Structure 1
């Protein structure tokens, strides 16, 4: 049970991080006039979101959330 609670806390943290990163991307795109500049900054954030999604899928399966 303790392990499952930890996994659930990790899942919640991942969801929260994903939301924050998506908000950051929106802010960056609003603040940059030049699209190529914003894409340069946004690319690593999108990579992190992809990793977060992979981790979330793994935890969803382990916790039977999907």
Structure 2
């Protein structure tokens, strides 16, 4: 394996690790969101707590989509 192939494999490996991290973060945030919705059902704080989490989940999905395209996972 020459140096350019090795660099390519390293880059792909890094992207895959990042993709796995994004999946883990999305799962964790989704679970937290579910817990908050259960514990703050009719609380005015519910929206204040959930909106930033929903925004972060949306960013994670966007980042995942980019990596899926780069890694031909779609």
Q: Structure 2-normalised TM-score? A: 0.84
Structure 2 residue ranges without an equivalent (≥5): 1-8
2:44 counterpart SS class: helix
> Cα deviation per residue 1:16-64 (whole Å; 9 max; x = unaligned)?
0000000000000111142432111000000000000010000000000
Show structure 1 runs of 4+ deviating over 4 A: none
| Number of corresponding residues | 66
Larger relative contact order, structure 1 or 2 (CA cutoff 8 Å, min sep 6)? 1
What RMSD in Å do the two structures reach over aligned CA positions? 1.0
Query: For the pair shown, which has the larger CA radius of gyration, 1 or 2?
Result: 2
Distance, in Å, in 1 between the alignment partners of 2:71 and 2:43 is 40
Unmatched tracts of structure 1, length 5 or more = none
